[in-house]
């Protein structure tokens, strides 16, 4: 675990690519430890290490990253995951591999991520709310299969809107947070659904969730305004093959199911998966 092998870094720690003596490759996340005067302290919410281990320990799904093992000894807190060679969706879209993200690949990523979230919301009891759905938390394997990752702020809920929990610490990332969270600090599966709608817009437009071009708006409001004023051709990433225009249009319309201002009007993730699958218009080989 040297600096040469760092493949990611965030507010919670660094991620390293590690080759084991067997030749197997894994991703190791070393968590920061919050300290006060050099002594480890526990925050107001459950420790991220415990949350990640407790959450991923309950999940086995092809579209959720696999946690192999963990290590907690003093200041060394490590989480060992399966290695995803194509990194995360955000980094991929900014790298020299960006051209590999053609529409069929983006479409597959959208469905894969939606199925992972749908399993969390509907496939296990009690259900799990991710609370930080964003493109950098969607990892890509060697075949560009997508898996949802980073469960450090996830919460177990009752599986319905009545199971919402009020949080003392803001979770989520700017540009992805559902509008109601700002004044209620309550989260349920509807919060994840809104964030996933932003990811759909990123896949279709190839634009970030926040940018100076949007003025005081975010990507959701910018797209809505541009669609109304100039039409879909000014929203879709011009690099995408026009052969898929109808399919892209249908996927873009799915975002309405996710980003409605009123949480009650957002569709459940199982329905979002269904609508995405039905959007296919071009046969795949």
Residues noted as catalytic: 132
- Spatial distance between the Cα atoms of 49 and 174, rounded to a whole number of angstroms: 23
């Amino acid at each position: 675990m040297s600096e040469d092998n760092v493949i990611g870094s965030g507010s919670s720690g660094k991620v390293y690519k590690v080759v084991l003596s067997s030749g197997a490759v894994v991703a190791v996340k070393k968590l920061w430890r919050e300290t006060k005067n050099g002594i480890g302290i526990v925050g107001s919410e459950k420790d991220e290490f415990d949350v990640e281990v407790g959450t991923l320990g309950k999940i086995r799904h092809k579209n959720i990253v696999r946690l192999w093992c963990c290590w907690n000894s003093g200041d060394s807190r490590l989480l060992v995951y399966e290695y995803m060679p194509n990194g995360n969706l955000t980094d991929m879209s900014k790298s020299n591999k960006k051209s590999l993200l053609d529409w069929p690949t983006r479409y597959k990523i959208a469905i894969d991520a939606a199925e992972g979230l749908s399993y969390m919301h509907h496939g296990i009891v009690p259900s799990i709310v991710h609370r930080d759905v964003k493109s950098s938390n969607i990892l890509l394997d060697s075949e560009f299969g997508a898996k949802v990752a980073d469960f450090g702020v996830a919460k177990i809920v009752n599986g319905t809107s009545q199971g919402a929990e009020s949080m003392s610490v803001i979770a989520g990332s700017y540009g992805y947070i559902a509008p109601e969270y700002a004044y209620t600090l309550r989260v349920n599966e509807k919060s994840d659904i809104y964030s996933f709608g932003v990811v759909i817009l990123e896949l279709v437009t190839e634009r970030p969730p926040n940018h100076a071009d949007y003025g005081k708006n975010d990507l959701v409001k910018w797209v809505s305004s541009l669609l109304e004023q100039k039409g879909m051709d000014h929203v879709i990433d011009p690099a995408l093959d026009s052969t898929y225009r109808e399919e892209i249009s249908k996927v873009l319309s799915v975002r309405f199911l996710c980003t409605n201002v009123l949480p009650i009007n957002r569709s459940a993730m199982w329905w979002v998966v269904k609508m995405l699958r039905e959007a296919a218009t071009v046969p795949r080989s």
